[in-house]
Structure 1
Amino acid sequence: MTTSFKRHVLVAALLIATAGAGFAQGDTGKAARFYEDALQRYDRKDYAGAIIQLKNSLQQDKNQLSVHLLLGKALLANAEVANAELEFNEALRLGVNRGEIVVQLAQAMVAQGKQAQLFDDARLKPAGLPPGVLLKLKLVLASAWSDVGDNRQALQAVMDARAVNPADAASWLAEVPLRVRSRQFKEATAAAEQALKLAPDSAEAAYQKASILHVQGQIADALQLYERSIKLDNGNVDAHLARAGLLLDLYRDKEAQTEIDELRRLAPNDPRGTYLRAQVAERAGDMPAAKAALKRVTELLDPVPIEYIRYRVQLLMLNGLSHYDLKEFEKAKPYLEYAAKQQPNSPLTKLLAQIALAEPNVPRAIDLLETYLKSRPGDGQALLMLASAQMSQGRHAKATALLQEALQAKDSPDFRAALGLSLMRGGKSADATAELERAYKADPKQIQAGLVLVDMYLKAGQQAKALQVADSLAKANPANPTILLVQASARLRARDVAGARAGYQAALKIDPKLLPAQLGMARLELTTRDFAAADNRLRTLLRSDERNVDVLFELATLYETWGKDDKALGYLQSAADASSPTQTRANYALVAWQLRKGTPGGALDAAKVLLSKRPDDIEALLVYSQAQLASADFAGARATLTNASRRAAYDATQLERIARAQLDAKDLAGAAYSLDKALQGSPNFLPAMVLMSTVELMQNDPAKAERRARQVIQGWPKAAIGYGLLADVAASRGQQAAAVDALRHAYELEKTAPNLLRLFRAQSQVPEGGKAAIELAQGWIKAHPKDTAVQKALADAHARAGNFTAARHGYEAVVAQQPGDLEAMNNLANVLIRQKDPGAPAVAEKALALDPRNAVVIDTAGWAHFIAGNRDRALQLLRDARLRNPANPDVRYHLAAVLAQTGRSGEAREELEAALKSHSFASADDARQLMSTLK
Structure 2
Amino acid sequence: MNTRDSSMQRLRKATVSGLLATLLLVGCGGEKPEAMLASAKEYLAKHDAKAATIQLKNALQQKPDLAEARFLLGKALLEAGDATGAEVELRKAKLYQYPADEVTPALARSMLALGQADKVTDEFANADLSTAQAKADLQTSLATAYLMQNKPVQAETAYAAAVAAQPGYGPALLGQAGQKARKGELPAALVLVDSAIEKSPDLYDAWQFKGDVLSSQGDSAGAMLAYRKALELRPTYLPAHAAIVRLFMADGKLAEAGQQIAAMKNIAPTHPQTTYLSALMAYQQKDFPAARESIQQMFKFAPDSPLGLQLAGLIEYELKAYPQAEIYLLKALPSTPELGIARRVLIASYLRSSQPGKALSVLTPVLGKIDKDSNMLALAGQVYVQNGEIDKGGEYFAKAAALDPQNAGKRTSLAMVNLAQGESEVAFRDLEQVAAADPGNRADLALIAAHLQRREFDAALKAITSMEKKQPDDPLVHNLRGTALLGKHDLAGARASFEKALAVNAAFYPAAANLANLDIVEKKPADAKKRFEAVLAKDPKSMQALLALAQMRAKEGGSTEDVAALINRAMAANPTESAPHLGLIGLYLGKNDTKSALSAAQNAVAVLPNEAEILDAAGRAQQAAGEFNQALATYGKLAALKPDLPLPYLRMAEVEVAAKNKDAALQSLHKALKVMPDSLEAQRGIIMLELDAGRLPEAVAVARAVQKQRPKEPVGYIFEGDAYAAKRSWTDAATAYRAGLTQIPAATELAVKLHVAMSAGGNAAEADRFAQTWLKDHPKDGRFRLYLAEADTARKDYAAAAKQYRILLDAQPDNAAVLNNMAWVAGQLKDPKAVDYAEKANKLAPKQPAVMDTLGVLLMEKGDKARGVALLKEAVELAPQASLIRFNYAKALIKAGQKKEARSELEQLAKLGDKFAAQAEVSDLLKGL
Using structure 1 for the length normalisation, give the TM-score: 0.36
Name which one, 1 or 2, has greater alpha-carbon Rg.
1
Larger RCO: Structure 1 or Structure 2 (Cα < 8 Å, ≥ 6 residues apart)? Answer: 2
